[in-house]
A and B are shown apart, each in its own frame.
Chain A
Amino acid sequence: EPEVTQTPSHQVTQMGQEVILRCVPISNHLYFYWYRQILGQKVEFLVSFYNNEISEKSEIFDDQFSVERPDGSNFTLKIRSTKLEDSAMYFCASSWDKTSTDTQYFGPGTRLTVL
């Protein structure tokens, strides 16, 4: 069964460093998402991406964040200058379309630890 994959599974970085989290969505999906879950808190929406542009973003997704689909298979989240509070599990998701029947499929997540 097709699945969303994410690399790395765990990333440790120093505060102020840039990180890139990578995702390979399900191959025929057209909509891509990033969510995050700070330890002990709810899963929060960050951004959605369709047709090579951001379709929706939350207040969390400020100028330090960016997303890109550099080729036909990868979808990346870049955090320019990491802060301690960026430590969280980051989930990528994808869906075929955005109708009411459409399910978002989630990857296993990347645990980001900022020291």
Chain B
Amino acid sequence: KQEVTQIPAALSVPEGENLVLNCSFTDSAIYNLQWFRQDPGKGLTSLLLIQSSQREQTSGRLNASLDKSSGRSTLYIAASQPGDSATYLCAVRPGDSSYKLIFGSGTRLLVRP
């Protein structure tokens, strides 16, 4: 059964720092992996999607990498800003015959001015 884990659970950094959020999954047979942002009491905003055949994806200050064989993904945020403060979730889609996303518990990020 696929399990998704995110470390650390919480992170507090000063503005301007580059930071890395980690996501690991137990079964390497995934179809794709998505990173989401969740603001308190709000919905999920998709940030990046990496297909299983890809190694990384970039969007602005965000870069996500995927190492399927080791069951890991990282989300790199460059030059962090207070507006980046949110919970970041990763989710894997197990296979092409499955529609569901399996989520990690998230990393709560606080960027201090």
Interface of A with B (CB < 8 Å)?
Answer: 4, 31, 33, 35, 41-45, 48, 50, 55-56, 58, 91, 98-109, 111
Q: A42 touching B105 by the CB < 8 A rule?
A: yes
Q: Is the CB of A98 within 8 A of B96?
A: yes
Q: Interface of B with A (CB < 8 Å)?
A: 31-32, 34, 36, 41-46, 49, 51-53, 89, 91, 93, 96, 98-106
Contact B43 A108 (CB under 8 A): yes
Instruction: Check if A100 sits within 8 Å of B32, measured CB to CB.
Output: yes
Q: Which residues of B contact A98 (CB under 8 A)?
A: 96, 99
Contact B51 A33 (CB under 8 A): no
Residue in B43, B101, B103, B106 whose Cβ sees the most chain A Cβ within 10 Å: B43
Instruction: Report the nearest B residue to A41, measured CB to CB.
Output: B105
Cβ of B96: which chain A residues have Cβ within 8 Å of it? 98-100
Task: Tell me whether B99 and A31 are in contact (CB under 8 A).
Answer: yes
